[in-house]
Structure 1
Amino acid sequence: MKLEIAVVGLQGAVVAAEEGADRIELCSALELGGLTPSHGLMESCLEAAGAADRGLEIHPLIRCRPGDFRYSEDELATMVKEIRALLDQGANGVVLGALDSRNQLDVDAVRRLADAARDVNPDAELVFHRAVDETPDPAAAVGQLVELGFTRVLSSGGAATAGEGLPVLSRMVQSAEGRLQVMAGGGLAIADIAAMRRAGLDAVHLSAKRIVSASGAGSAGGGPSSYMVTDREIVAAAKAAVDAAG
């Protein structure tokens, strides 16, 4: 089982590398559900991963705006450019997704984004993000993602937390039949990792975040002086749980 950490800055990439995570999902504005990271941030994280020399993979999120996953032509064109630029920089893969007006996979839009990635790097990993949890049946979407050539799907099983969604995640694993990796994420508790492994999940995904403010650090809070960092202790605990699960 692999460990992925969602990070929003260089600090998080360094922590993930040093604590033995297998990869990071790199994004900005995690408080908005995550948006595409800047090219400068991507470059800094690539340098950090190289310096750590631990094989940390970097998979940037491709999402040009917050809100729903129904994209206009202009938005899709923007995301195509983001995909090309970030893969050119050296990303190992990209994390993307798009839905139609019925909250089904927007196959045409997804294929367009996937094709853009393959044009730059035929070996780039393609990850469908948690937009899958807004579909009527995440397990039914697995077959479409296999046909579209995706490497992996991130899901909470359509529930508020991955722990609650474990029955659906198990069905997704069964539907994948080894053709697609299923990664649990979304409110994932470290205590749930062993159960995820027993259910056949290929990976787990955590933000491992805490909020830092001018008055100090804590798990809650907010305001204009606050920002998000990756908590080393949470990453270390998640890594230990993954290792223990086998």
Structure 2
Amino acid sequence: MTVALEIAVTSPAGAATARDGGADRVELCVGLELGGLTPSQALVEAVHETGIPAHALIRSRPGGFVFDAAEIDLMERELRAVLRSGAAGVVVGALRPDHSLDVDVLRRFVATAKEVRDTAEVTLHRAIDHAADPVAAVALLADIGFTRVLTSGGKPTAVAGATTIARMVDAAGPVQVMAGAGVTPADVPALLATGAAAVHLSAKRAAAGSAHDGVPMGGSDDGSAHFVTDADVVRAARAAVDAA
């Protein structure tokens, strides 16, 4: 089995770094420090021009994954916009209040993606790690129409959840299981031992000189630096995947 390497990026420069380091695709978002939010149309267009397949995260706000009707409508609009702007796929998720998958909403997202482009790939994001039973949840995804799922096995990091990830691989059928969350190149062999079809990491480092002091720009702004994609980490991850 050929294992894919996916890098989470937030900029065209990050996408180019991932491409040059040997990544197979990128997940594109903004606000990594918030868990990732939907990128703008212009950002999707600019990343598309780098030539690496980009899968755009569709998440209209931070916080949990139980969405109201207005939020679902907005994310459906965002989904259409990013696919029309060149995204190769979308990354979506939604839960019910009882922490089961919101199958009705997920079917709607998948159907909308396929209406825009029948070749669009659809990934379920780490909402599955907040599901009451991630293994039972992953068994539903093929029928809904998902291409893959990103998971840490319900744990804070993919390495901690490796045992559950292996069970999810067994339950997923044709849906690709991608291991991600807190992944470093050194973790790759353990994650590939689960049978995962791909590994996902942000490969990020703080941008030099980007921290600021003084007047906060929001309630959660502590003056920290923003992150950029680290070419050395991408190359190390590619080498680890190829060596496994």
Shorter-normalised TM range: over 0.9
d(CA) in 2 for partners of 1:153, 1:25: 12
How far off its partner does 1:224 sit? 3.4
Listed as ranges, the matches of 1:1-246 within 5 Å are 1-49=3-51, 56-177=52-173, 179-214=174-209, 223-224=222-223, 226-245=225-244
d(CA) in 2 for partners of 1:109, 1:186: 25
| 1:22-55 per-position Cα deviation (integer Å, ceiling 9, x unaligned) | 0000000000000000111111111112xxxxxx
Which consecutive residues of structure 2, in runs of 5 or more, have no partner in the other structure?
A: 212-220
SS at match of 2:139: helix
Find runs of 4+ consecutive structure 1 residues off by over 6 angstroms.
none
Instruction: State the TM-score, normalized to the length of structure 2.
Output: 0.92
Q: Is the 8 A contact 1:184 1:204 kept in 2?
A: yes
Which consecutive residues of structure 1, in runs of 5 or more, have no partner in the other structure?
A: 50-55, 217-221
Q: Is the 8 A contact 2:210 2:226 kept in 1?
A: no
Identity value in percent: 50
d(CA) in 1 for partners of 2:222, 2:60: 24
Q: How many residues align?
A: 233
Instruction: State the TM-score, normalized to the length of structure 1.
Output: 0.91
Q: Is the 8 A contact 1:214 1:225 kept in 2?
A: no
How far off its partner does 1:168 sit? 0.3
SS at match of 2:123: strand
Q: Is the 8 A contact 1:93 1:124 kept in 2?
A: yes
d(CA) in 2 for partners of 1:215, 1:16: 21
SS at match of 2:23: coil
Distance 1:215 1:171, change over 3 A: closer
Q: Hey, which of these two has a bigger chunk of helix by percent? A: 1
